[in-house]
A and B are shown apart, each in its own frame.
Chain A
């Protein structure tokens, strides 16, 4: 225990002496936390629209102005032929083409039926899909309005109509920030904790100071603890700063118990730092450690359920997410912050993450060799 005290004192002295790293540890996440949620916006706006109006009637004009008035679309061209409009798509000026056929107005009034053609530039998948969906629903509304005007409403609609009213629980306004901020905080803490620990031991290897440690009778688990605890504390501080920023900037106040959140993050960080330590025991240079960490961090983040839903992943990818600590962290963050889940609810995640922490740290201690 006494040895651990000396190790910790030394580690903290080194951390606080390196002003550049210290600044990075605290300023970088703050900036990222301010910038990232603003940029990582799920809502699609400014969809560039090209309209081919073959009808040029009052109704077609009305439809177009209704689409533009929705605020989601920017009219890039009002063309007379599909070919012209398609050129806009080819030159990436337009994302969508709405083609209104000849006789649109006439058919709509007389035959009560009309077809519109929507072509989507699917290179930017999200934008095109959502843009297409918006457009359809606007046209649907337009259609309903027209019918109201033209057709005498029968007492009962002759067609069965199911109207879906959706209610968004836990995030009533469907504010994407509420959804994404806890996730981004999870990732920031993971990155900082993981990278710092991985690079720290490897740096001692590079400089050669580890040799002087290895020749002392220090116990392996004490040495590993001496590396784990300082970065654990740093990551906890970064996490706390993140929670405060989430409240101040985004007005996100955890609904659940903060204690649940902190207990979970405490265990989770042991997992992440254990992983960093394990990587460091395999590497001889900071470059190697950096590449390996990047490789796994990318996997963890992309398969973590922050940007894409895990439920819609293929089966094999879902299997991988089960051994991805980041996935559990993001889940618990959202559960506790948005839903107000308690200890009971996050118990499964806590169990898995605790097991990982034991395995990774145990492996790191085993794989750290004082004699090679």
Chain B
């Protein structure tokens, strides 16, 4: 029996009359790479923010790493990493200072911070950039750095909100290498993306349409189910039925 790290049951978030996520239910296994797909405005980010304890759900239930999203948000936060859609490391601090800061906030010891910093520098090839301000790095590096900071404290789950948006194909491949490496360390990866080639890299994917999860399966099964050659086609068939305007 696989350990379930995310269990979601009819999780809903309303903003006034608008239902951003509508009774979504799913489970994610430990060490899995779970692709969370959907058109813009389908409710992916809202759902993810609820799972991270950044946003309180309106109804439904969910546990993350065994902790409740209503009452145990701070315990959840100790066990997850999060990389938001918008780059959110400190641009006016150096790479080194950012790593040190977030390491310190997550309670790493000085020794651990030092080791992690060295590891990160060699893995990302940033050795000569460690003392540069983060703001001066190209986007691809920033994103890889963001990811590395999000898994600095070896969380059980890492949430990635469109981590590769606007990044060139080579860097995207490198980014996915990092994701695989994290998954090898049994870190569960929960990722949203608009690139269908990336969807193929996931163990399982769900596709959201208008706040609901329409389908959830492995990429291979989905292609079979929709008699499609690629995930692109699957996505297109589903997203076409969306009523919500692109936001």
Partner of A211, one of B86, B91, B97, B107: B86
Give how many B residues have a beta carbon under 8 Å from the other chain's beta carbons.
Answer: 29
What distance in Å separates the Cβ of B188 from its nearest Cβ neighbour in chain A?
16
B residues near A2, Cβ cutoff 8 Å: 104, 107
Name the CB-closest residue of A to B80: A215
The answer to whether residues A371 and B53 also contact, given A207-B88, A212-B84 and a CB cut-off of 8 A, is: yes
B residues near A14, Cβ cutoff 8 Å: 90, 92-93
Within 8 A of B (CB), among A1-19: 2-3, 5-7, 9-10, 13-14, 17-18
B82 at the interface (CB under 8 A from A): yes
Binds A, one of B27-35, B71-79, B124-132, B208-216: B71-79
Partner of B104, one of A5, A17, A214: A5
A154 at the interface (CB under 8 A from B): no
The answer to whether residues A3 and B105 also contact, given A14-B93, A371-B53 and a CB cut-off of 8 A, is: yes
Q: Please report the number of residue pairs spanning A and B whose Cβ atoms sit closer than 8 angstroms.
A: 75
Q: Is the CB of A215 within 8 A of B52?
A: yes
The answer to whether residues A211 and B106 also contact, given A13-B97, A371-B56, A372-B55 and a CB cut-off of 8 A, is: no
What distance in Å separates the Cβ of B28 from its nearest Cβ neighbour in chain A?
18
Chain B interface SS verdict (over half): loop
Q: Is the CB of B54 within 8 A of A214?
A: yes
Within 8 A of A (CB), among B80-109: 80, 82, 84, 86-93, 97, 100-102, 104-107
Q: Is the CB of A10 within 8 A of B73?
A: no
What distance in Å separates the Cβ of B102 from its nearest Cβ neighbour in chain A?
7
Which size class do A's interface residues fall under? Answer: 20 to 34
What distance in Å separates the Cβ of B94 from its nearest Cβ neighbour in chain A?
9
**Cβ contacts B43-75/A at 8 Å (1 or 0 each):** 000000000111110000000000000000111
A71 at the interface (CB under 8 A from B): no
**Cβ contacts A12-53/B at 8 Å (1 or 0 each):** 011001100000000000000000000000000000000000
B residues near A372, Cβ cutoff 8 Å: 54-56
A218 at the interface (CB under 8 A from B): yes
Q: Is the CB of B106 within 8 A of A208?
A: no
A209 at the interface (CB under 8 A from B): yes
The answer to whether residues A211 and B88 also contact, given A217-B106, A371-B56 and a CB cut-off of 8 A, is: yes
Name the CB-closest residue of A to B104: A6
A211 CA to B73 CA, complexed, in Å: 14
Partner of A208, one of B73, B84, B100: B84
B residues near A371, Cβ cutoff 8 Å: 53-56, 73
A residues near B84, Cβ cutoff 8 Å: 208, 211-212
A113 at the interface (CB under 8 A from B): no
The answer to whether residues A217 and B88 also contact, given A3-B104, A13-B97, A212-B82 and a CB cut-off of 8 A, is: no
Q: Is the CB of A208 within 8 A of B107?
A: no
Interface centre among A3, A7, A216, by most B CB within 10 Å? A216
A278 CA to B82 CA, complexed, in Å: 27
Name the CB-closest residue of A to B79: A217
Partner of B54, one of A3, A9, A209, A215: A215
Q: Is the CB of B97 within 8 A of A208?
A: no
The answer to whether residues A10 and B88 also contact, given A215-B52, A215-B53, A371-B54 and a CB cut-off of 8 A, is: no
Q: Is the CB of B88 within 8 A of A208?
A: yes
A residues near B102, Cβ cutoff 8 Å: 212, 216
Name the CB-closest residue of A to B90: A209
A214 CA to B78 CA, complexed, in Å: 11
Q: Is the CB of B55 within 8 A of A17?
A: no
Q: Is the CB of A216 within 8 A of B54?
A: no
Q: List 20 additional A-B contacts (Cβ < 8 Å) besides A213-B105, A370-B53.
A: A5-B104, A6-B101, A7-B105, A9-B100, A10-B93, A209-B89, A209-B90, A211-B54, A211-B84, A211-B88, A212-B82, A215-B52, A215-B54, A216-B105, A216-B106, A217-B106, A370-B73, A371-B55, A371-B56, A372-B56
Jot down 19 A-B pairs with beta carbons below 8 A, ordered by A. A2-B104, A5-B104, A6-B104, A9-B101, A10-B101, A13-B93, A17-B92, A208-B84, A211-B82, A212-B89, A214-B54, A215-B82, A216-B77, A216-B102, A217-B75, A217-B77, A218-B105, A370-B73, A371-B73
Q: Which 3 A-B pairs have the closest CB atoms?
A: A6-B104, A215-B82, A212-B88
